[in-house]
Amino acid sequence: MDVINAKLRESSYRLTGQRKAVLNVMLENKGRHLSAEEVLWEARKISPNIGIATVYRTLEKLASLEVLYKSMFEGNKYRYELAEDEKHHHHHVLCLACGLISEVSGDLLHELESDLDEQGYKIIDHELKFYGYCPACNKKK
Amino acid sequence: MDVINAKLRESSYRLTGQRKAVLNVMLENKGRHLSAEEVLWEARKISPNIGIATVYRTLEKLASLEVLYKSMFEGNKYRYELAEDEKHHHHHVLCLACGLISEVSGDLLHELESDLDEQGYKIIDHELKFYGYCPACNKKK
DNA sequence: TATAATTATGATAATGATTATCATTATATA
DNA sequence: TATATAATGATAATCATTATCATAATTATA
């Protein structure tokens, strides 16, 4: 919270009612991955007239401040999640049956990244997604 | 080639002029990652009247036969590449400066996948992208 | 072979997520 | 308070992709 407020203050980002609504939705949904449309409906419970453009603008800004992480899902839609200091990388497991998105922690990728460094690359970030079945759906099969 | 023909025969996929054009474009661009639009322009050199719908249909079919791999780039566009037997997984490095897409081989991810297996997941596939600078652009900086 | 069914194609409309535009409203500053 | 600046919401525009549909090509059948 303090970290977030510091970031907002530093970039002199005014916290209007609508922006507060979006931010609150994201805070209340810590650990979940919301689409812009989902954020819109949740945010309207707090700020009933908020429009989709403002939601996009706010999510974009918060992502650029690294308050949120933004990443592509289902091949056609971004989803946003609250950033947590501990995990700078976003590794996801998508359940092909129920759509559940879980997080993978751990950083086995450092090894791969240093291989690439040796080859002359400069790696800034990475993204890893697993596709399969979550424990619950896997059991049912 | 034989493998591809076998797959096409098995699924009784008729190789019309347009489909042959798309397939040839992909064969000639082995190792490259083409968007549907790019395939369209190349294919029109062979089959001048081919339409974008046929390109999409053909790419989709070839991807479902695993003749091609399809994956999302730049957050808004699929790109297709000729599948090669050796690599069943598609790990990419995207250069943020020049847009070059290179391949990473090796499969350090098996370890991560078996961790997930132990947690009850059933992993079917994965996708890994690195973002950074290719050796050429990295040198220039 | 002629004809009927089937499949493939291309033009184009529809879709869905995202972005741009612009008039209006809210806020900050002189 | 007047004025400049920033934020907002409605909606149009964009762009990749998908759906539709009339027509053309191919295949199967009588």
**Could you read off the pLDDT of B73-104 as tens digits, one per residue?**
877 789 999 998 655 566 788 877 777 888 77
Do A13 and A70 share a domain, yes or no? yes
- Tell me the whole-structure pTM to 2 decimals: 0.80
Q: Which of residues 71-90 of B touch A (CB under 8 A)?
A: 72, 75, 78
Chain D bases closer than 7 angstroms to a protein Cβ: 6-11, 15-20, 26-27
Q: State whether B32 and B67 are in the same domain.
A: yes
Q: Are residues A75 and A19 part of one domain? A: yes
Instruction: Give the pLDDT confidence score for residue A41 in this predicted structure.
Output: 95
**Would you say residue A32 has pLDDT above 80?**
yes
| Residue B128 with chain A: CB contacts under 8 Å | 109, 126-129
Question: What's the confidence (pLDDT) of residue B126?
Answer: 81
Supply the pLDDT for residue A105: 67
Give the total number of structural domains in chain B. 2
Residue A63, C-beta contacts closer than 8 angstroms, at least 6 positions apart: A69, A70, A80
Indicate whether A88 pLDDT > 60.
no
Q: Is B98 on the interface with A (CB under 8 A)?
A: no
Residues B54-73 pLDDT 10s: 999 999 999 999 999 998 88
Q: List the one residue out of A15, A21, A27, A75 whose CA is nearest residue A45.
A: A21
How far in angstroms lies nucleotide C4's C1' from the CA of residue B62? 31
pLDDT on residue A108: 64
Backbone dihedral angles phi then psi of residue B139, each to the nearest 5 degrees: -65, -40
Q: Which two tokens stand for residue B26?
A: 């992909």
Question: CA nearest B73: which of B127, B140, B7?
Answer: B127
Interface membership of B97 toward A (CB under 8 Å): no
In chain A, which residues have their Cβ closer than 8 Å to the Cβ of B115? 106
Instruction: Give the pLDDT confidence of A89-101 residue by residue, as tens digits.
Output: 668 887 777 777 8
CATH classification of the domain holding A51: 1.10.10.10
Pair B95, B135 in one domain:
yes
Q: What is the mean pLDDT of residues A6-34?
A: 92
Residue A55 scores a pLDDT above 70: yes
For residue B106, give its domain range. Answer: 90-140
Cβ separation A134–B121 shorter than 8 A: yes
HSE-CB for A52 with a 13 A CA cutoff: 4
